[in-house]
Structure 1
Amino acid sequence: MITIETFRTLALSFPNATEEPHFEKTSFRINKKIFASFDAKNNRAVLKLNEIDQSVFSASSEMIFYPIPNKWGKQGWTIVELSKVRPEMFEDALIRSYENVARKKK
């Protein structure tokens, strides 16, 4: 299980990552753009994956990783069930999310 403390430590370990509120959630950003958010009420993360990564993570663990069921999900925003995900898998997905957002033009 991933706790908010573990999530925060991992997310803030990336260069220039910041933590900011985002509505009722906690967001983690690079260059003012969200790469991850934490929903404490539902114990879920949302990550910004590219289409291929979203497909791979969802296919391997569809009860743990799945696209947000709307247009945001079609853009790569992916829900992660933190009570079910293995720490190493979550870390891999978080790295991919950070890199995906960090690579985009500022």
Structure 2
Amino acid sequence: MANSEIFTQIAMSLEGTRSAPHFDRTAFKVKRTYATLAADGLSANIKFTPEEQELKCMVAPEIFEAIDNGWGRQGWTTMRLGPADARDIEAALAMAHVHAVAK
């Protein structure tokens, strides 16, 4: 079972990542924001490509869910931290981080 502390530690370990306030959330960014952590620490939103989002949601629907709006159609995906483990978080953040570095 993962939590917001594990999520933050993993995100901040990725090269060039910095955190900043983002409305009521904490954003993790390099050149662009690639993840945000909810204020309650129970979930995070992660930016995948639409294809990555589809795969994550299909393989682990108890963890990942596409955001149901225009942001979701761009690949933004909610990750529930409770059913996730550190490996799930590390894989998801690494996938999103690559795109944020490339921008």
Which TM class, normalised by the smaller chain length?
Answer: over 0.9
**Structure 1 residue 42: Cα displacement:** 6.0
The alignment yields a C-alpha RMSD, in angstroms, of: 1.2
Alpha-carbon displacement from aligned partner over 1:25-45 (angstroms, at most 9, x marks no partner): 1110102x2111100326101
Q: What CA distance in whole angstroms lies between the structure 1 residues aligned with 2:62 and 2:24?
A: 24
Q: What CA distance in whole angstroms lies between the structure 2 residues aligned with 1:42 and 1:74?
A: 24
What 5-or-longer segments of structure 2 have no aligned partner? none
TM-score (norm 2): 0.93
Matches within 5 A, 1:59-70: 59-70=58-69
The one of the two structures with greater contact order (alpha-carbon pairs below 8 A, sep at least 6) is 2
Q: For this pair of structures, how many residues does the alignment match?
A: 103
What 5-or-longer segments of structure 1 have no aligned partner? none
Residue equivalent to 1:89:
88
Q: More displaced, 87-96 or 68-77? A: 87-96
Alpha-carbon displacement from aligned partner over 1:46-88 (angstroms, at most 9, x marks no partner): 0000122111110011121011000000000000000011221
Identity %: 29
Q: More displaced, 2-11 or 69-78? A: 2-11
TM-score (norm 1): 0.90
Residue equivalent to 2:17:
17
